[in-house]
Amino acid sequence: MPEFKRLKLNLVRPVPSDYEISRNQTPKHITEVAKECGIEDAECEPYGAYKAKVKLDILDRLHSKKNGKYILVTGITPTPLGEGKSTTTVGLAQSLGSNFNKLAFANVRQPSMGPTFGVKGGAAGGGYSQVIPMDEFNMHITGDIHAVGMANNLLAAALDTRMFHENTQTDKALWKRLCPEKKDGSRDIPQGLFPRIRKLGLDSKPVSEWTDEEISKFVRLNIDPSTITWKRVVDCNDRFLRGITVGTAPTEKGQTRETGFDITVASEVMAIMALSNSLKDMRERLGKMVVASSTTGEPVTCEDLGCAGALTAIMKDAIKPNIMQTLEGTPVFVHAGPFANISIGASSILADKIALKLAGVPFNASPEEEREDSGYVITEAGFDFTMGGERFLNIKCRASGLTPDVIVIVATVRALKVHGGGAEVRAGAPLPFEYTSENVEMLREGCSNLAKHIQNARQYGADVIVAINRMSSDTDREHDVIKEISLAAGATDAIVSNHWEQGGEGAAALAQGVIRCAHREYPSQQGRPKEFNFLYETEGSSIEEKIEAIAKKMYGAAEVEFLPAAQEKIKEYTAQGFSNLPICIAKTQYSFSHDAKLKGVPSGYKFPIRDIKASIGAGYLYALAAEIQTIPGLATKCGFMNVEVNDDGEIEGLF
């Protein structure tokens, strides 16, 4: 394994724009980055000079290695400006690589292109803690989101067309067309329909002996149009597709239907990509996706439509994680980006697993060797700890079998002041006075929010490090208050980090703390065994019990109110056998509660569940505590209006 070649930073003040910083750094060729991580040539598929896919069979080769250290980065309840989780993830990895010579991966989500051209611009960290090249990171990467969209939309087309054909043909005609008679009198049954034959128990007798009733059962899915949950997707902020009527052309003979589009990252296929442990696992999950119920109340799946093999074929390259690099040349896995608003908001299990093996030590390494040689995988969960972290632990970790060694909670003085009663903070508007000058009282008040997140993380038994993401107007006294309250709430340490302005160097103290914490070297860790507990059991507890566990133990609600639509769904999913799945709760990220206005640590409130939906293939139910917009819109002035390609073929104005 060649030695890590650090890319030197040329730190400039004031910090230039993200894109300027990105463009002024010359990345290594991606094959060099891959080699430095221990990825063999045959396992690496470059896509251009700065991106590559890593083949899944690398897991077989590294099977016997012990995993590296698994570090989860989460945050406190944020402001709309964001508190720097991605920046911290990247900066921490840069420091571990550059300052401590550890093999350290930053594992992040692939951004959706919709918002890139909408309001927000790109996202890959920021300042001197970034994934580069930033334009490639924010555009297609290796096309995974496109593959997700194709797979999602093929299933949608198959669903609507199947209903059309069932509505316009007799059983006999459907049978003749679906399974045409061959010259020898036998039937040509498409491979993809065998699972349905088995599901119906029809594989026990020869096709020639099927009764008319059995043939009818096989050829008709009898989908109840009012139960369809599958929508089409597009990776664009196209608000006019939120609600659409399809089938209005004369060729569809009046079979119109109300439906809509989601943004591609909201597709269940994306969640499956994030939560699959192998190609085979993905194949099975795609088959299990439920798209509707039949008129008799049975779930209709992707497998029933004969689509699961084709969707797997479309996704067979997308499931391989993508490797890129940070500004300092440390490796980054960018893979999957399920929509945090309704899904887990975390990058893929396979990226984490591959990185953990690459960062790992031989199975027989001594504790001293492990301390010296172990690498680190810094993986990010969307939103705050109590939303993103909870989902990460109860859904992603349950699916992967992995548990984090350290949980980092990112906090800023600014956001904590909001929780202490500061004025509203809005993107684009100037910051009120309390945020640009010292205010220890307000900060101390707001630290209750941080303390609750720490206590929530400690409920899982995890070791917590607070990362104080430094801003220029912060004072030492303010940082001291955060440290004091963090330790009192159960954090192992609280450390100021200045990676945005200084890159890895600025995160060196944080990195040192993470290393010590991961190897349990803090005095407070001594004599306390390493543990990990899920918040709730999936088997044997009802849907209501699981939701209550999250709402009460994590969000601080006094009780949960299940509105009628939710009650009905609970009945339906329980009857369909889906009550043993973990739960993803969709709510605002701007409060512990369902009400974005409730800052600090709200308590004693009633938490409403309006509706429950299912992602059976991905393996969870999601409960809606708010109206969640699943496709954003474009503003009057949009990001795209500033984008141009210059004469050198470089993108300008994207960030």
The type of residue at 488 is: A
Residue (69 or 232) nearer to a copy of itself, CB: 232
Q: Does 140 bind a copy of itself (CB under 8 A)?
A: yes
- What region does 350 belong to: left with phi over 0, alpha with psi -120 to 50, or beta? alpha
Comparing CA positions, the residue from 396, 373, 446, 340 lying closest to residue 86 is 340
Residue (48 or 201) nearer to a copy of itself, CB: 48
Q: Residue 380 contacts by C-beta under 8 Å, 6 or more apart in sequence?
A: 72, 73, 74, 85, 86, 89, 106, 107, 108, 109, 346, 347
Q: Among residue numbers 414 through 473, which ones bind a copy of itself (CB under 8 A)?
A: none
Structure tokens at 308: 């699961």
Q: Does 214 bind a copy of itself (CB under 8 A)?
A: no
Whether cis (ω within 30° of 0) applies to the bond prior to 608 is: no
Q: Of 224, 317, 373, 438, which lies in the binding site for a copy of itself, with binding defined by CB under 8 A?
A: 317
- Calpha distance 198→118 (Å, rounded): 47
Q: Does 47 bind a copy of itself (CB under 8 A)?
A: yes
Task: Choose the stretch contacting a copy of itself; rule: CB under 8 A; options: 13-21, 250-258, 490-498, 516-524.
Answer: 250-258
Residue in the block written with tokens 């369902």: 594
Q: Of 313, 427, 440, 563, which lies in the binding site for a copy of itself, with binding defined by CB under 8 A?
A: 313
Residue (16 or 46) nearer to a copy of itself, CB: 46
Q: Does 221 bind a copy of itself (CB under 8 A)?
A: no
Q: Of 260, 421, 432, 490, which lies in the binding site for a copy of itself, with binding defined by CB under 8 A?
A: 260
Residue (114 or 600) nearer to a copy of itself, CB: 114
Q: Of 87, 99, 142, 326, which lies in the binding site for a copy of itself, with binding defined by CB under 8 A?
A: 142
User: In the complex, what is the shortest distance from the CB of residue 324 to a copy of itself, in angstroms, rounded to a whole number?
Assistant: 15
Structure tokens at 557: 């609600």
User: In the complex, what is the shortest distance from the CB of residue 143 to a copy of itself, in angstroms, rounded to a whole number?
Assistant: 4
Q: Are 201 and 209 in contact (CB under 8 A)?
A: no
Q: Of 265, 270, 407, 634, which lies in the binding site for a copy of itself, with binding defined by CB under 8 A?
A: 634
Q: Among residue numbers 341 through 370, which ones bind a copy of itself (CB under 8 A)?
A: none
Q: Of 40, 258, 531, 537, which lies in the binding site for a copy of itself, with binding defined by CB under 8 A?
A: 258
Q: Does 654 bind a copy of itself (CB under 8 A)?
A: yes
Q: Of 28, 53, 353, 546, which lies in the binding site for a copy of itself, with binding defined by CB under 8 A?
A: 53
Q: Of 1, 101, 203, 240, which lies in the binding site for a copy of itself, with binding defined by CB under 8 A?
A: 240
Q: Of 423, 563, 565, 645, which lies in the binding site for a copy of itself, with binding defined by CB under 8 A?
A: 645
Q: Are 398 and 582 in contact (CB under 8 A)?
A: yes
Residue (282 or 381) nearer to a copy of itself, CB: 282
Q: Does 232 bind a copy of itself (CB under 8 A)?
A: yes
Residue (205 or 280) nearer to a copy of itself, CB: 280
- Calpha distance 646→653 (Å, rounded): 10
Q: Does 306 bind a copy of itself (CB under 8 A)?
A: yes
- Calpha distance 246→230 (Å, rounded): 13
Q: Are 420 and 88 in contact (CB under 8 A)?
A: no
Q: Among residue numbers 273 through 292, which ones bind a copy of itself (CB under 8 A)?
A: 279-280, 283
Q: Among residue numbers 80 through 119, which ones bind a copy of itself (CB under 8 A)?
A: 113, 117
Q: Of 310, 327, 467, 618, which lies in the binding site for a copy of itself, with binding defined by CB under 8 A?
A: 310
Comparing CA positions, the residue from 459, 446, 522, 516 lying closest to residue 485 is 446
User: In the complex, what is the shortest distance from the CB of residue 47 to a copy of itself, in angstroms, rounded to a whole number?
Assistant: 5
Q: Of 16, 80, 192, 421, which lies in the binding site for a copy of itself, with binding defined by CB under 8 A?
A: 192
By CB under 8 A, how many residues form the interface with a copy of itself? 93
Per-residue binder mask for a copy of itself (CB under 8 A), 143-182, x = binder: x--xx-xx--xx-xxx-xx--xx---x----x--xxxx--
User: In the complex, what is the shortest distance from the CB of residue 174 to a copy of itself, in angstroms, rounded to a whole number?
Assistant: 6
- Calpha distance 69→359 (Å, rounded): 8
Could you count the other beta carbons within 10 Å of the beta carbon of residue 180?
A: 10
Q: Does 248 bind a copy of itself (CB under 8 A)?
A: yes
Q: Residue 43 contacts by C-beta under 8 Å, 6 or more apart in sequence?
A: 34, 54, 55, 57, 58, 61
Q: Of 12, 40, 170, 243, which lies in the binding site for a copy of itself, with binding defined by CB under 8 A?
A: 243
Q: Does 245 bind a copy of itself (CB under 8 A)?
A: yes
User: What Rg, from alpha-carbon coordinates, does the chain have?
Assistant: 26
Q: Is 145 in a helix, a strand, or coil?
A: helix
- Calpha distance 580→538 (Å, rounded): 5
One DSSP character per residue, 443-476 reads HHHHHHHHHHHHHHHHTTT--EEEEEE--TT--H
Residue (364 or 636) nearer to a copy of itself, CB: 636
Task: Choose the stretch contacting a copy of itself; rule: CB under 8 A; options: 86-94, 257-265, 266-274, 380-388.
Answer: 257-265
User: In the complex, what is the shortest distance from the CB of residue 491 to a copy of itself, in angstroms, rounded to a whole number?
Assistant: 40
The distance between the two most distant Cα atoms of the chain, rounded to a whole number of Å, is 87
Q: Residue 606 contacts by C-beta under 8 Å, 6 or more apart in sequence?
A: 557, 558, 559, 560, 561
- Calpha distance 474→442 (Å, rounded): 13
Q: Does 257 bind a copy of itself (CB under 8 A)?
A: yes
